[in-house]
Amino acid sequence: MIPMNPPSPIQVRMWISKPHNPALASRTCVLVPLLFALLASHGWAVDKAGAAATPSGAPQAEEDFESYPADATFTTKQILGSDGKGWASAWKTGGSSSLPKGTIADSPSMGSGRYLSGTVTTQSARDVSSGAITRAFLASKIAGPFTISFRFRPDTVPDNVSYLIGDTKAASAFGPDSTSSWKIAAINGTWQCFDGAANRGPNNYIDSEIPVTAGTVYDMTVTVDPGSHKWKATISGGGKTFTQEEINSRSSTFDLDTEGVTDARWITFAVQEVVAVGTPTVGTTGNFSVDSISIRY
């Protein structure tokens, strides 16, 4: 019986790479394709090397914001929605010297009805001012690569402001942090992917060379392999597409939240103002929109 959760890449490779009795070689040639077909029938893509690839079945968690009332809002110490259907919490905000706010909107259109509009107003005279909108998804059954896809639109692109998107172990007011397995950031006018030190490499950014333009809708997909601490990113928008594989995660572990919620990770959309080292923030507002979130594993 094929398990409903995906086998890890290691498990699949073991199934097909163990030494076979020569007399059974012909049977193996038949059984291996059947194994791949059975895995695919349960929603799991498998590459030719036998590794579990990008999950292709029904999402375990998704969000299109159509179930919320138009103009519904939430801010500090408020929530929107609830847990259930693959989610471990409602939507919430977090701020560090800032005022974050979420609103359900439908105009200007992102192409599919209602969406989440986020606003973060930063404070002046701070070293760093940031705020985030975040939600926890159930992650205890993740046994191999998982994929998160979503649509993101920066509605304003103020000076000194970065949009930071990623996952974290716990709810964060700063966006992606040292517990993150992936991070996409709007820095210096382009979308960039954080190449971390989980595999003992240097921390740096990989530039997609796709401009961050106010009002442009970007489709983003990340596939994370917690076992190898690697991830893949695809960013499309403004008539351009960027794909990068084998990016190192920032964290060398894939820990789950056990305090704020149980057995979960958080997807986070953040705004951060940093002027320069030793130069205080001036205070500004970053506006963004999010829609069509899907998590598959």
pLDDT (mean) for 123-139: 95
Predicted structure pTM score: 0.81
Distance from the Cα of residue 114 to its chain's centroid = 20
Local structure of 9: helix, strand or coil: helix
Torsion, CA 198, CA 204, CA 206, CA 212, rounded to 10: 120
Look at residue 198 in the predicted model and tell me its pLDDT: 77
How far apart are the C-alpha atoms of 194 and 230, rounded to whole Å? 11
79-101 pLDDT per residue, tens: 999 999 999 999 999 998 899 99
Q: Is 76 exposed, middle or buried (CB count within 10 Å of its CB: 0-12, 13-18, 19+)?
A: middle
Local structure of 86: helix, strand or coil: coil
Looking at residue 170, what DSSP letter applies? S
Task: Map 34-66 to HEC letters.
Answer: HHHHHHHHCCEEECCCCCEEEECCCCCEEECCC
Region for 173 from its dihedrals, namely left if φ exceeds 0, alpha if ψ lies in -120 to 50, beta otherwise: alpha
Report which of residues 7 and 68 the model is more confident about.
68
**All structural domains of the chain with their residue ranges:** 9-54, 61-296
Look at residue 166 in the predicted model and tell me its pLDDT: 98
Report which of residues 61 and 21 the model is more confident about.
61
252-277 pLDDT per residue, tens: 999 999 888 999 999 999 999 988 88
**In the Cβ-directed half-sphere of 65, how many Cα atoms lie within 13 Å?**
28
Report which of residues 5 and 10 the model is more confident about.
5
Look at residue 39 in the predicted model and tell me its pLDDT: 45
Look at residue 277 in the predicted model and tell me its pLDDT: 84
Spell out the CATH class of 61-296: mainly beta
Report which of residues 51 and 232 the model is more confident about.
232
Instruction: Quickly state the pLDDT bin for 45 (edges 50, 70, 90).
Output: very low
In the chain, helix, strand, coil percent, each to 5? 10, 45, 45
pLDDT (mean) for 46-71: 74
Contacts (Cβ under 8 Å, ≥6 apart) of 198: 229, 248, 249, 250, 251, 252
188-234 pLDDT per residue, tens: 999 999 999 876 667 899 999 999 999 999 999 999 999 999 999 99
Look at residue 200 in the predicted model and tell me its pLDDT: 66
Distance of CA 225 to CAs 128, 175, 215, 282, Å? 31, 20, 32, 39
Q: Which of 67-81, 103-117, 199-213 has the lowest mean pLDDT?
A: 199-213
